Structure 1
Amino acid sequence: MGYLWVKTFHILFMVSWFAGLFYLPRIYVNLAQATDPKNQALLLGMAGRLYRFMTPLGVLALIFGLWLYLYYKIGWGDNWMHAKLLLVIGLVIFHGVCRHYLRQFELGKMQHGHVFFRWFNEIPVLILLAITALVVIKPYF
């Protein structure tokens, strides 16, 4: 598979993964506000299905990104790439925290309210902004 195909698939899966990372915390905002058991069950089902759907997308984004980095040496040794990789690690951690919160909702043990999740929802936006700036601008620092 050529470089441009690998890059295309990396971007495709990254965008798809981010769509899930943007929407799942928004479901958590609604879950934290839901008082009706039927609405809670509906939202939990949506959150669980979304998490199961977006996880393979994230894995594929990581695989194609690592392919670009290791095989094609994109950004190899550049500081902007080191910063990007740290942000990607942070994104993987965010994904794992989303799973933890889903489990807490499923067990009925969620301690955070809707205001917390409104702020939590902004984290992937900030990470995407930082990653995009690093990739496009490639600053020297």
Structure 2
Amino acid sequence: MDAPSDAFLWVKALHIIAVVCWFAALFYLPRLFVYHAMSDDALSHERFQVMERKLYRGIMWPAMLATLITAHFLVDWGDATQHYHEALWFYLKVGLVALLVIYHVFCGYYRKKLMLDAHYKSHKFWRYFNEMPTLILFAVVILVVVKPQF
């Protein structure tokens, strides 16, 4: 097998950085929702709105887009030698990433609902909601590293 090109390695590095940034935001935004739901004063409510908006628009969206764009190139370039499209683990991973994108969009929906009513849902709901990306991360990493043969 030939060594990967420099361009492939650069895109792979950018992909890993984008994934780390996206997950950091996916972990942190619902945690802000927990604290937002527990806040009682207008100043805290406004502060959480600003923090949530900046995180969602300024970090989450760019990181998600960078993750998906670099993933496309990695799959396109790597499929010739890795045969991703022949592996069930690959399709399971793509399905889990699709769930993350849906989760991401739900975060935006919930962010807007919290702007109108900080107590829209309880802090306990947000604590459970916060666990979803962790579970998906575990599954994706295992699929990518172990590449189980089903």
- For the aligned pair, the TM-score class normalised by the smaller chain equals over 0.9
- Aligned-pair RMSD on alpha carbons? 1.3
Distance (whole Å) between structure 2 residues aligned to residue 122 and residue 102 of structure 1: 17
Fraction of identical pairs, as percent: 40
Structure 2 portions without partners, runs of 5+ = 1-5
Q: Deviations over 1:32-78 (max 9, x none)?
A: 11111101110111001000122111100100011111232152321
Query: Which residue number corresponds to residue 3 of structure 2?
Result: none
Instruction: Determine whether 1:87 maps to 2:96.
Output: yes
**Which residue identity lines up with residue 124 of structure 1 in the other structure?**
P
Question: In the TM superposition, what are the counterparts of 1:12-27 in structure 2 within 5 Å?
Answer: 12-27=17-32
Query: Which residue number corresponds to residue 115 of structure 1?
Result: 124
The list of structure 1 runs, each at least 4 consecutive aligned residues, that deviate by more than 3 angstroms after superposition, is none
Structure 1 portions without partners, runs of 5+ = none
Question: In the TM superposition, what are the counterparts of 1:31-42 in structure 2 within 5 Å?
Answer: 31-42=36-47
Question: In the TM superposition, what are the counterparts of 1:1-141 in structure 2 within 5 Å?
Answer: 2-53=7-58, 54-73=60-79, 74=82, 75-108=84-117, 111-141=120-150
Q: Summarize the Cα distance change of 1:104–1:110 in structure 2 as closer, same or farther, 3 Å threshold.
A: farther
Q: CA deviation at 1:3?
A: 1.4
Q: CA deviation at 1:109?
A: 7.1
Distance (whole Å) between structure 1 residues aligned to residue 69 and residue 107 of structure 2: 21
